[in-house]
Structure 1
Amino acid sequence: MSELETLILHGHYGTPNPLKVMILLEELGLPYKHVQVDITKVKEEPYTQLNPNGRLPTLEDPNTGLVLWESAPIVEYLVDTYDKAGRLTLRSFPESYHLKQFLALQSSGQGPYYGQWVFFARYLPGEAVAIARYKDQLLRVWSVLDKILEGKEYLVGGKCTYADLSFVAWEDGMRVKFPEFGLEKRASEYPNYNAWYQRLIARPAVAKALRINREEMAKAAAK
């Protein structure tokens, strides 16, 4: 893919949804540049000229002229456009729809529950009911996936797909960035889920994206 122009990912190291896209870019071997966006200015111009919703990430693809925001459609776009060999997807029926199903679970379930738990537990620790609710929902998602993964290595079709990979960023962020929440200690209660996650982060492209993300976070913290 050396003839491709460089894709531009507008994100912020240490935030999971841009990392979710980074993982796909690395897995597909696409040339890309990460543009670090000041997270306090995402609701301001010039960034809102790209993404009027003022959230991260946004992808610019000069090869097609597309500007796209929201991580889930970005993931689908990258696979549809650049994974012609189907390494990370399945195009058969009904598997192709099952992939969309799990991507929707990640986007509407895992990500929001993790995000709300972090918000309340870290910034509003007195809100015990909210903290308990989002923690319970987070662990519910774990239990659902743990049951689905019983006897399986991956979610759909016996191979790693974009649906599996989309869960990595939030899980990594919670385990590494917020160790005080103790998710590592709870992982043994969900052995299928935890074994699946360990398989995913052992993939070279995933490990590279996680390493870059952590290194850049450390650089920012040292400033």
Structure 2
Amino acid sequence: MSHGKQFTLYAHRTAVNGYKVAIVLSELGLEYEMIYLDFDKKEHKAPEFVKYNPNGRIPALVDHANNDFVLWESNAILLYLVHRYDKGHNISAFTDADKALQDQWLFFQASGQGPYYGQWAWFVSAPEKIPLAIERYKKETERVLSVLDTVLTGQKWLVGDKMTIADISFIPWNDLAFHRILGPDYPLGETFPAMFKWHTAMMSHPAVKTNMEKRAELLKSA
């Protein structure tokens, strides 16, 4: 294999979805090179990247050990990684029932958390403020947090008795929401105590901590 690392991960310095993939790669002990695309230069729309992802979005992953297999859509990448490289099910579900629940949460994250948090972040930072849109996506973000809090009030993890990719998939967007969207004055721990405890527990994992600290440092210079 001519590549120095097994994987090439195309991402962005501060955009969140690449970091969930980086966390899973790190959790599985897989070696990867993270290439940051410059959105201002439209590198994510350039032919050199669109050949990997025709949607022109990050992340995209190239598995050099599997004939340079390419995959995009972050949660599809997580499923690929655990199906192929997590034979011991360290961060993935084992039983058929738990696998179905894991998929359920991955779909919820992709269809609920990501779009709503993303739209709220966009409208909050847009030059022209549209109060109706800001209020709608704020409420939807709080609804997603409420769903997580309700479920996690009765259990420690979303699936089974350990952290899986179902949990990991929520980390980067939650981290962004807590620090950039909701703001430091939002009573997060009081409003969503079970969800906040869950997120805090995940942030203590070395692979999570390292990657989210890396993003925080890059964000300072953005």
TM-score by length of 1: 0.91
Corresponding position of 2:23: 23
Deviations 1:100-125 (A, max 9, x none): 00011111100110000011111055
Match for 2:126 among 101, 106, 123? 123
Change in Cα spacing, 1:132 to 1:78, as seen in structure 2 (3 Å) is same
1:179 and 1:112 mapped to 2: Cα distance? Answer: 14
The root-mean-square deviation of aligned C-alpha atoms, in Å, is: 1.7
Stretches of structure 2 lacking an aligned partner (at least 5 in a row):
none
Corresponding position of 2:6: 6
1:125 and 1:147 mapped to 2: Cα distance? Answer: 35
Deviations 1:19-40 (A, max 9, x none): 1111111111110000111113
Match for 1:85 among 60, 85, 88? 88
1:69 and 1:108 mapped to 2: Cα distance? Answer: 16
On the 8 A contact 2:123/2:134 being kept in 1, the answer is yes
1:120 alignment partner, SS class:
helix
Once the 2 structures are TM-superposed, how far is the Cα of residue 216 of structure 1 from its aligned partner?
A: 3.1
2:70 alignment partner, SS class:
strand
Match for 1:160 among 154, 158, 163? 163
1:30 and 1:216 mapped to 2: Cα distance? Answer: 22
2:217 alignment partner, SS class:
helix
2:92 and 2:70 mapped to 1: Cα distance? Answer: 22
Corresponding position of 1:57: 59
Corresponding position of 1:190: 192
On the 8 A contact 2:114/2:173 being kept in 1, the answer is yes
Stretches of structure 1 lacking an aligned partner (at least 5 in a row):
none
Corresponding position of 1:38: 38
On the 8 A contact 1:13/1:217 being kept in 2, the answer is yes
Match for 2:205 among 203, 206, 210? 203
1:101 aligns with 2:121: no
Where does structure 1 differ by over 3 angstroms across 4 or more consecutive aligned residues? 179-184
TM-score by length of 2: 0.92
2:183 and 2:137 mapped to 1: Cα distance? Answer: 12
Length, aligned pairs only? 216
Once the 2 structures are TM-superposed, how far is the Cα of residue 186 of structure 1 from its aligned partner?
A: 3.0
Of stretches 94-103 and 125-134 in structure 1, the one that deviates more from structure 2 is 125-134
1:63 alignment partner, SS class:
helix
Once the 2 structures are TM-superposed, how far is the Cα of residue 47 of structure 1 from its aligned partner?
A: 1.3
On the 8 A contact 1:5/1:63 being kept in 2, the answer is no
Structure 2 residue identity aligned to 1:43: K
Once the 2 structures are TM-superposed, how far is the Cα of residue 156 of structure 1 from its aligned partner?
A: 1.1
